[in-house]
Amino acid sequence: MGTRRLARELAVQVLFHLELNPGDPDEAFDLVCQNFQSPQSQASNQAFSRQLVLGVCRQMKDLDEMIRNASQNWRLERMPCLDRCVLRLASFEILCLEDIPPKVSIDEALEIGKKFGSEHSGPFINGVLDNIYNTLVEQGKLTR
């Protein structure tokens, strides 16, 4: 497994922690790293993980609006917490990190959802992210 995948998994863990224990994202990041990451993996993935967590937290309102618009028949508050965290993370990557192809962000989100979520997480995450991606393409904010 690549270091970027590990970084994304760490970011999802921190975002999940923040869902249950709202507070300062930097402090939450440090707390999760100190208690749940092995010393070998910390150095290689912390910088990218921190970028993801802080970016999601800064853009949360816009990301949540995108997810709400893309998820038919699902209120954001009723989504499983893990799925919501994965959706926010992937949406942030798609919208804000131009050096990562959107399809890579979607695929990574699916794999993380399958690993940590329920049997329904993969198809749900895929559907919402595909809708977000297609909407951004239609609006001219992304190219295929």
pLDDT given at position 34: 87
Q: What is the CATH number of domain 3-138?
A: 1.10.940.10
pLDDT given at position 96: 95
Helix axes 102-116, 121-138, angle to 10 degrees: 160
Pairwise CA distance, residues 118 & 131, whole Å: 21
pLDDT given at position 143: 77
pLDDT given at position 144: 67
Kindly state the tokens that stand for 136. 């951004």
* Digit-coded pLDDT (tens) for 28-62: 999 998 887 655 555 668 899 999 999 999 999 99
Pairwise CA distance, residues 64 & 49, whole Å: 20
What are the extents of the domains in the chain?
A: 3-138
Give 77-81's long-range contacts (Cβ < 8 A, gap of 24+).
79/124, 80/117, 80/118, 80/121, 81/16, 81/19, 81/20
pLDDT given at position 2: 74
Whether the CB-CB separation of 95 and 59 falls below 8 Å is answered with yes
Question: Is the full-model pTM beyond 0.75?
Answer: yes
> Closest by alpha carbon to 67, among 90, 51, 50, 49?
90
Cβ within 8 Å of residue 110, ≥6 positions away = 122, 125, 126
Grouped pLDDT means (10 residues each) for the chain, 144 residues: 87 96 95 76 79 97 96 91 98 96 97 95 96 95 80
Helices (H) and strands (E) in the chain, counts: 6, 0
